Amino acid sequence: MSYDFNIESPQTADELLAVIAANQDKNFRFGAGGTDLLLELKRAPQENLTVVNLAQLKDPIFKSITKVAGGYRIGALVTAGEVLDHEEVKSEFYTLWEAAHNLASMQIRQVATVGGNLCTASPSGDIACALVALHARCEIINTKGELRSVSVADFSTGVRKTVIQKNEVLRSVVVPINSNPNLHSGFIKVGTRLSMECSVVSLAYHIQMDDNRTIRHAGIAIGAVAPTIKFTDSACAFLIGKSKLIDTEREEFAGLISDYASPISDVRASAWYREEVLFNISKGLME
Partner 1 sequence: MKINFTINGKGRAKEIKASTLLIDLIRDGLKLKGTKPGCFEGECGACTVLVDGHAINSCLYLAVNVAGKSITTIEGLGGEDQFLDIVQEKLIEHGGVQCGFCTSGMAMSIKSYSDKCKEEGKVPNRNEVAKSLEGNLCRCTGYVKIVDAAISVCGN
Neighbours of 198 (CB within 10 A): 16
- Rank residues 195 and 212 by Cβ distance to partner 1 and give the closer one: 195
- Rank residues 22 and 55 by Cβ distance to partner 1 and give the closer one: 55
- Rank residues 54 and 169 by Cβ distance to partner 1 and give the closer one: 54
Q: Residue ranges of the alpha helices (H) in the chain?
A: 13-22, 37-43, 60-63, 80-84, 87-92, 94-101, 106-111, 114-119, 126-133, 152-155, 233-239, 247-258, 271-284
- Rank residues 22 and 147 by Cβ distance to partner 1 and give the closer one: 22
Pair 244, 286: CB distance under 8 Å: yes
> At closest approach, how far in Å is the CB of 194 from partner 1?
8
- Rank residues 81 and 115 by Cβ distance to partner 1 and give the closer one: 81
> At closest approach, how far in Å is the CB of 51 from partner 1?
7
Rounded to 10 deg, the angle between the 247-258 and 271-284 helix axes is 140
In this structure, are strands 230-231 and 215-223 parallel, antiparallel, or unpaired? antiparallel
Q: Which residues pair with 230 in a beta bridge?
A: 222
Provide Rg for the chain, Cα atoms. Answer: 19
- Rank residues 21 and 39 by Cβ distance to partner 1 and give the closer one: 39
> At closest approach, how far in Å is the CB of 86 from partner 1?
14
- Rank residues 42 and 148 by Cβ distance to partner 1 and give the closer one: 42
Neighbours of 261 (CB within 10 A): 19
Q: Letter for the amino acid at 232? A: T
> At closest approach, how far in Å is the CB of 264 from partner 1?
23
> At closest approach, how far in Å is the CB of 190 from partner 1?
16
Q: What number of helices (H) and strands (E) belong to the chain?
A: 13, 14
> At closest approach, how far in Å is the CB of 28 from partner 1?
13
Which residues sit at the interface with partner 1, rule CB under 8 A?
3-7, 9, 31, 34-35, 38-39, 41-42, 51, 53, 55-56, 81, 104-108, 110-111, 194-196
> At closest approach, how far in Å is the CB of 196 from partner 1?
6
Tell me the three state secondary structure of residue 172: strand
Neighbours of 37 (CB within 10 A): 19
